[in-house]
Amino acid sequence: MLLLDPSLPPALAEARLLHPRAPDNSPGYFTVARVSEGKWREKSYSVDVAEPVMRALGGSCDTYVSQATFISRRRASSLAHTLRCAFVDLDLYNLDLIADGASIEAVMEHARRHGVPEPSLIVSSGRGLYAKWIFDQPITSTLMPQWNALQASLISLYTQFGCDPKVRDAARVLRPASSINSKSGGEVKVVLDTGRTWAFADLCEQVGTISIAAAVATGAKVTRSARERQNKLLGACDVSDLGQLVNYSARREPVMMRQMTAQSLNWARFLDLRDLAMARGGFARGSRDSFLFWMVCFLGHSGVITPANFWHEVGQVVQAFPLAQDFQPITDGSLSTIKRRIEAAHAGKFVYHQGARLSPIYTPTNDHLLNLFQVTPDEEQRLRTLISGAERLRRADLKVPGRAERRTQRVESRAAAIALAGEGAKIDEIAATVGRSTATVYRWLAAAKQEATPGAAAEAPANFERRGRRSPYAVHQQHLPGRRSADGREGSASPPKTNPEQLTERELRRRGAAPPQPSAPALAGQQLAAWVEHRLEQIRESAAVGSARREANQRLERAAAAAESAQVQLRMQVRLMRIIEHLRHELPPRNRGVEPAHLKPGVRLGRLSSLAPPASAPPPSTS
């Protein structure tokens, strides 16, 4: 099977092989350079438009194309994003040779005789040859040091064919197929397509094994840099391609994923394992199986890996791991159990653990993963969901200013209340001293009494906190399964449920089963008395400050109420004055000399009584 599609123009087929479109829509650019009117001109294009660009370049003269894909439009080795091949430039014209069948056969014979991996493609550049080794998967910039060592070793192995030592960096441009070399007038064309691709780690290992041996056979001096290059090549099997893992996670993120769900939780856990490996610089020996095992589990939970695409997706993830001979997860059958469980999950099956219905796919607890991977507190700060209770509490404290200080005050006040109760103080006196309600003091003392009884639960840590809104993942964490196998892959054993009836906190306190809280420090004699006195002084100062603040707030409230009352009275007076003024203009003047005929003698008119007689009243007599 050929690597280049014969139905396509050679330049386009080569571009599709070396510059595939980025599946994660990440920026990828390749460079096209031309010599026009004696001037070097170059321009970068997105890999999305590689097809029309390469079609337009067919048959052009003195055209060059980059072999790497870059993350920006600037062509530089430091900006190389992905690489699909290693290459050497054989300038046969310097040895008075021509690029014919005999030269090609000599190159292949040299590879077979010295054990050098044979090239995947051999391209006639017009006056020389390009030998290219195509990788089965593109490598990212993470493996750039090993790629540079591979280039240097290949150049040293093909020195006798006039190999150009300058053509070795990732930013190098070579003539594409079907272009014209103006120096010879010949067409650049692919003269040999073996159809063979190489795993990058295997290619580095083979070249590193024979590079020093070939130099010794030719009588060349083995330098220190050659030794270092060989060690780097032989160690390529133990180097993680973390850039490949980043690309995989970018193009496999579930579309339209709802947040705060089991799917988003497991996807975040996969990203946490990825970030943990990146923070440690890769997957070390001894942890590769665990990382891959749980990554596949979380990808199965999130729906990325299904029974239909299981082995394909696992193969994509494995590309990021060190591919040493002792790590063959696809062929050794170590992942077959996960595949069966993913099939069971997609078939609608469930497992039951402690009364909860769960997915058949392994579901670990955070504590199990933290202990398995030995995650440090500094590493937890970079993760999303793979965190301990202390880290979760720290993040909650950062969201609410003063929350940690208030919790410390509660713990200290509780310790002071317990110490005062031990000295015989009354409940109301203790409550007034520590600035808490009597109900709170009763609760503290009841919990302390329960802790002191034989067989009581162990004392809670000093950062125990029962307040605040619970995490959306708390319910999910409560129903995680325990250990089901000897290797611990299914999670550590869950602690026994202390609240099987789902009682409220108030009911738990009434039954005397509230969660334990910290007690007073283990001090004795004068030290305890000094500590209690110091704490009481702090509490009194805090109470005095609080009392002063409350009195100031009360004064402000009284002043505001008085001002509002004065405004109301003023508005009422203004309204009354407007009514009086309106009535004074509307009523006619009072005639005190004439009494209306329709009224009885001696009846006085009110202030607002009408002076007009009714319509039925007889007219006054004129006699």
Determine what percent of the chain is predicted with pLDDT higher than 90: 27
Asked if pLDDT for residue 298 goes beyond 90, the answer is yes
Q: Which of 153-157, 229-233, 269-273 is the most confident on average? A: 269-273
Cα torsion through 536, 537, 538, 539, rounded to 10 = 50
Is residue 77 packed enough to be buried (19+ CB in 10 Å), middle (13-18) or exposed (0-12)? middle
Average pLDDT over residues 161-185: 90
pLDDT at 185 over 60: yes
**pLDDT at residue 319 above 60?**
yes
Cβ atoms within 10 Å, residue 273 = 21
CA dist 227 and 298 (Å) reads 42
pLDDT of residue 273: 95
Split at pLDDT 50, 70, 90, the class of 516 is very low
Element (H, E) at 86: strand 80-90
Half-sphere exposure of 502 (CA within 13 A, CB side): 2
Res 222: pLDDT = 62
CATH of 10-238, one of 3.30.70.1790, 3.40.50.300, 3.40.462.20, 1.20.120.350: 3.30.70.1790
341 and 362 Cβ atoms separated by less than 8 Å: yes
217 — pLDDT class (breaks 50, 70, 90): low
Confidence check: pLDDT of 618 > 80: no
Rounded to whole angstroms, the Cα distance separating 509 from 603 reads 80
What's the pLDDT at 544? 84
Q: Model confidence at 401, in pLDDT bands (50, 70, 90)?
A: confident
Tell me: pLDDT of 160 over 90: no
pLDDT (average), residues 144-171 = 90
Q: How many CB atoms lie within 10 A of CB 459?
A: 12
**pLDDT for 477:** 42
- What is the model's pLDDT at position 480? 42
Residue 563 has pLDDT above 60, yes or no: yes
**Residue 284: pLDDT above 80?**
yes
pLDDT at residue 22, rounded to an integer: 65
- Split at pLDDT 50, 70, 90, the class of 221 is low
> What integer best gives the mean pLDDT of the chain?
80
Q: At residue 361, does pLDDT exceed 80?
A: yes
**587 or 487, which is more confident?**
587
21-53 pLDDT per residue, tens: 765 566 789 999 998 888 899 999 998 888 888
State yes or no: pLDDT of 127 exceeds 60.
yes
Q: What is the reported pLDDT for 274? A: 93
CB 435 within 8 A of CB 539: yes
- The CATH 3.30.70.1790 domain(s) of the chain lie at 10-238
DSSP of 105-161: HHHHHHHHHHTPPPPSEEEE-SSSEEEEEEEEEEEEGGGHHHHHHHHHHHHHHTGGG
- State CA 354 to chain mean position distance: 31
Query: How does pLDDT run across 374-387, given as a tens digit for each residue?
Result: 999 999 999 999 99
